[in-house]
């Protein structure tokens, strides 16, 4: 059995501010870390920048904010790998432009017996992505036929760009692994779980419509159904309560438009197919490189998102799975999820009546009553059991 990862996720700014050696020594001495998940590329401040401006600074590192942070690729971009996408070799981070995270960190990690994994975050919501030339050609389309904010998994230019990043990394550096992160759920999940803007209900681009037709789903009916659910979501979030209740009215739309579930599955399967492609490309470049996935923290509290994430199936194209089970998932984030779903699918109830402990969590407060550790361990065990059946590390 492969050695278990005791891994930590870390961005370039930590090494630049505090030095590669001191950071690695601290990881090893204080936490027994044997693997680094090096965050690149990332366009998300929480994984690539310093502290969010206005929040307390940590007790180490540079004691100032980086308000102009943009993010991107913190490794050297090799243009020869980016030939089959209109995005080309776009993406090099504006910060530390002559500093290469892999060149600086991998040798030092090797000397300490630590593995190096490229943690690739797609950051689908980031404005900086849409600032790149040609990126607007890769965007999803909403039920009203408008290009939106996020890239489409079925757009060949977007897919090939990420596959190019994987090929570049695996061929150019002595990496031990690739971990890919995509923190977004599909359209029906969005509408059920929170007040949702129409531009987040996707995708109806020509590529998705073609795939839907091949699977026997009528794209026109799916689009019409999603417009109906968007209208339901807007009314319920605005305080309107249908005579039959929010849940029954939603369920009626599912019965009237079975294409809704079909399109949700199409979206999820499109995301998963990119996982498969990344796995295959990485293994084609280096059969020994390990490939796995960062599973969005919604898995900790949403049964709907959890149903989309079949660990046993994922194990067929995974060497490991990194499940985001934060130790505070039963606190502020869980509060937000309960509060939001009580403005959508469960609008007939209140947050107080919707928690397992019959007590509303406090916004910004600590964990719920009971044992958040038990909930955390439950999600870890579920991942381990499912991944284990597929012979993958959870």
Q: For the chain, give the percent of residues with pLDDT over 70.
A: 88
Highest mean pLDDT among 68-77, 345-354, 357-366: 68-77
- Banded pLDDT at 379 (limits 50, 70, 90): low
Instruction: Name the nearest CA neighbour of 375 among 335, 321, 305, 327.
Output: 327
289 or 389: whose pLDDT is higher? 289
Read off the DSSP letter of residue 52. P
- Banded pLDDT at 358 (limits 50, 70, 90): very low
Read off the DSSP letter of residue 329. T
pLDDT value of residue 377? 60
Spatial CB neighbours of 26, under 8 Å, sequence gap ≥ 6:
none
This prediction has a pTM of: 0.91
- pLDDT tens digits for 198-214? 999 999 999 999 999 99
Task: Give the pair of three-digit tokens for residue 244.
Answer: 């039959």
Average pLDDT over every residue of 367-386: 58
- pLDDT tens digits for 5-39? 999 999 999 999 999 999 999 999 999 999 999 99
- Banded pLDDT at 70 (limits 50, 70, 90): very high
Phi-psi region of 129 (alpha: psi -120 to 50; beta: other; left: phi over 0): alpha
Q: Does the pLDDT at position 332 exceed 80?
A: no
Q: Does the pLDDT at position 57 exceed 80?
A: yes
Tell me if the bond preceding 259 is cis, omega within 30° of 0.
no
On whether the CB atoms of residues 100 and 75 are closer than 8 A, the answer is yes
DSSP three-state, residue 375: helix
Average pLDDT over every residue of 105-123: 98
pLDDT value of residue 1? 39
From 132-136, 208-212, 307-311, the region with the lowest mean pLDDT: 307-311
Average model confidence (pLDDT) for the chain?
91
pLDDT value of residue 384? 65
Q: What is the three-state SS of 109-154?
A: HHHCCCEEEEEEECCCCCHHHHCCCCHHHHEEECCCCCEEEEECCC
On whether the CB atoms of residues 291 and 316 are closer than 8 A, the answer is no
From 56-65, 109-118, 157-166, the region with the lowest mean pLDDT: 56-65
The helix or strand, by DSSP H or E, that contains position 341, with its residue range, turns out to be helix 332-341
For 7-295, give the CATH class: alpha beta
Q: Does the pLDDT at position 331 exceed 50?
A: yes
pLDDT value of residue 196? 97
Complete DSSP assignment for 216-250: T--HHHHHHHHHHHHHHHHHHHTT---TT-HHHHH
DSSP three-state, residue 270: helix
- Bridge-partner residues for 121, per DSSP? 181
From 191-195, 241-245, 301-305, 378-382, the region with the lowest mean pLDDT: 378-382
pLDDT value of residue 369? 47
- Banded pLDDT at 335 (limits 50, 70, 90): confident
Buried b (16+ CB within 10 A) or exposed e, 274-299: bbebbbebbbebbeebbbbbbbbbbb
pLDDT value of residue 2? 65
Spatial CB neighbours of 137, under 8 Å, sequence gap ≥ 6:
86, 155, 157
pLDDT value of residue 375? 58
């Amino acid at each position: 059995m492969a050695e278990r990862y005791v891994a930590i996720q870390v961005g370039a700014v930590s090494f630049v501010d505090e030095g590669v050696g001191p950071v690695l020594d601290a990881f090893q001495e204080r936490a027994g870390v044997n693997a680094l998940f090096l965050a690149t590329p990332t366009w998300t401040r929480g994984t690539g920048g310093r502290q969010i401006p206005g929040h307390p600074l940590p007790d180490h590192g540079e004691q100032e904010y980086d308000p102009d942070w943009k993010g991107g690729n913190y490794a050297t971009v090799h243009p020869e790998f980016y030939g089959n996408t209109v995005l080309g070799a776009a993406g090099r981070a504006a910060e530390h432009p002559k500093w290469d995270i892999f060149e600086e960190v991998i040798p030092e990690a090797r000397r300490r017996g630590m593995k190096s994994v490229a943690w690739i975050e797609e950051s689908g919501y980031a404005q900086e992505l849409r600032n790149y030339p040609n990126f607007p050609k890769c965007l999803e389309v909403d039920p009203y036929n408008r290009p939106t904010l996020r890239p489409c998994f079925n757009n060949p230019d977007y897919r090939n760009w990420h596959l190019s990043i994987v090929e570049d990394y695996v061929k150019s550096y002595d990496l031990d692994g690739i971990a890919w992160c995509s923190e977004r759920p599909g359209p029906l999940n969005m509408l059920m779980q929170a007040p949702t803007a129409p531009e987040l209900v996707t995708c109806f681009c020509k590529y998705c419509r073609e795939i839907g037709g091949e699977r026997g789903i009528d794209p026109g009916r799916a689009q019409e159904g999603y417009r109906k659910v968007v209208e339901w979501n807007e009314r319920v979030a605005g305080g309107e309560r249908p005579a039959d209740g929010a849940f029954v009215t939603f369920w009626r739309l599912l019965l009237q438009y079975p294409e809704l579930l079909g399109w949700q599955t199409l979206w999820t399967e499109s995301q998963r197919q990119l996982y498969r492609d990344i796995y295959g490309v990485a293994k084609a470049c280096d059969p020994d490189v390990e490939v796995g996935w960062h599973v969005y923290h919604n898995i900790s509290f949403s049964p709907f998102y959890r149903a989309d994430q079949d660990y046993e199936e994922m194990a067929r194209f995974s060497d490991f799975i990194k499940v985001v089970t934060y130790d505070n998932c039963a606190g502020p984030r869980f509060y937000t999820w309960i509060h939001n779903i009580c403005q959508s699918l469960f609008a007939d109830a209140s947050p107080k009546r919707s928690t397992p402990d019959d007590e509303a969590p406090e916004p910004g407060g600590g964990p719920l009553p009971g044992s958040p550790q038990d909930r955390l361990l439950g999600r870890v065990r579920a991942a381990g059991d499912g991944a284990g059946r597929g012979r993958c590390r959870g």
